[in-house]
């Protein structure tokens, strides 16, 4: 409890009294009887609890209303982007992977084998009988996915580095060969080089990773254009 300038919680206590009861400790009950000092402490604690609850409820309700008002204009367009009410792009891909959170329960390394065992039933449900694989670009999607897997296996070996997310080009290879020089000097040397000499450094640099399948193909008319979260699962 708060202490006054005189050093006591209530006028009935002595100044700077260090006993638990003088500090607000309550050991009596309403059933057996309670003295006025502890009754006052009861009412003050209840009042503070009510005020604290009311303040938290109003603040949380205001924040929730602000979020709803800001998010109610968002919608997914046919190109897969999430846009605001004025057409401005919020996300180029819904959730950055295009997956519906409410329907992605089994998309994990632990539960994905369940879908694999029921592949025939899933195919019959998602793919009409009169539609052929050529109409849904299945072969093209599988070919591009194999291209990505081939790059993932060769990229660490070619670059000699274990980090997968890195930017390496001909200029970075050229800078590695001329360590100790200043930035401006290296840039000047690079700009004065012939195109053939630049190509030699470009060939030394590892090839860039191909685009993801869902970026290369339209997910609405390509069966197998899955995000990296799905294609990266080892089952």
List the structure tokens of 10.
Answer: 């209530």
Those residues of the chain that have pLDDT short of 50 are 159, 162-163, 235
| Cβ contact 209:175 at 8 Å | no
Give the 3-state secondary structure of residue 182.
Answer: coil
Give φ, ψ of 76 to 5 degrees: -90, 130
* pLDDT for 229: 64
List the structure tokens of 123.
Answer: 């195919």
- Give per-residue pLDDT as tens, 134-167: 777 788 888 888 888 887 777 665 545 544 556 7
| Cβ contact 145:231 at 8 Å | yes
Q: Which helix (H) or strand (E) holds 140?
A: helix 138-159
Give the CA distances from residue 110 to residues 78, 120, 229, 233, 235, in Å, rounded to whole numbers and listed in that order. 32, 20, 14, 10, 9
What is the DSSP code (8-state) at residue 84? -
Give CA torsion, residues 178, 179, 182, 183, to 10 deg: 70
- The β-bridge partners of 75 are 83
* pLDDT for 235: 44
* pLDDT for 62: 92
- pTM score: 0.48
* pLDDT for 164: 54
Which contacts (CB < 8 Å, 24+ apart) does range 191-200 have? 198/170, 199/170
| Cβ contact 76:82 at 8 Å | yes
* pLDDT for 64: 92
Give φ, ψ of 82 to 5 degrees: -100, 120
Percent above pLDDT 70 for the chain: 89
CA distance 61 to 71: 15
Nearest to 151 by CA among 96, 231, 235: 231
* pLDDT for 109: 76
* pLDDT for 114: 82
What is the DSSP code (8-state) at residue 76? E
* pLDDT for 2: 78
């Amino acid at each position: 409890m708060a202490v006054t300038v005189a050093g006591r919680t209530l006028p009935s206590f002595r100044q700077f009294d260090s006993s638990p009861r003088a500090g607000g400790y309550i050991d009596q009950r309403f059933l057996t009887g309670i003295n006025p000092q502890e009754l006052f402490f009861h009412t003050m604690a209840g009042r503070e609890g009510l005020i604290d609850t009311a303040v938290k409820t109003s603040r949380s309700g205001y924040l929730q209303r602000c979020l709803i008002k800001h998010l109610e204009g968002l919608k997914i367009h046919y190109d897969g982007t999430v846009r605001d009410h004025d057409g401005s792009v919020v996300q180029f891909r819904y959730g950055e992977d295009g997956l519906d959170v409410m329907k992605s329960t089994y998309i994990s390394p632990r539960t994905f084998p369940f879908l694999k065992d029921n592949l025939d039933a899933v195919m019959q449900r998602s793919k009409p009988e009169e539609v052929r694989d050529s109409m849904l670009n299945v072969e093209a999607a599988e070919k591009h996915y194999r291209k990505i897997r081939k790059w993932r296996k060769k990229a660490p070996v070619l670059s000699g580095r274990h980090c997968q997310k890195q930017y390496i080009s001909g200029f970075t290879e050229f800078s590695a060969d001329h360590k100790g020089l200043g930035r401006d000097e290296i840039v000047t040397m690079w700009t004065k080089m012939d195109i053939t000499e630049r190509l030699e450094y470009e060939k030394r640099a590892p090839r860039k990773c191909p685009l993801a399948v869902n970026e290369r193909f339209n997910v609405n008319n390509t069966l197998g254009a899955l995000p990296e979260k799905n294609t990266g699962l080892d089952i």
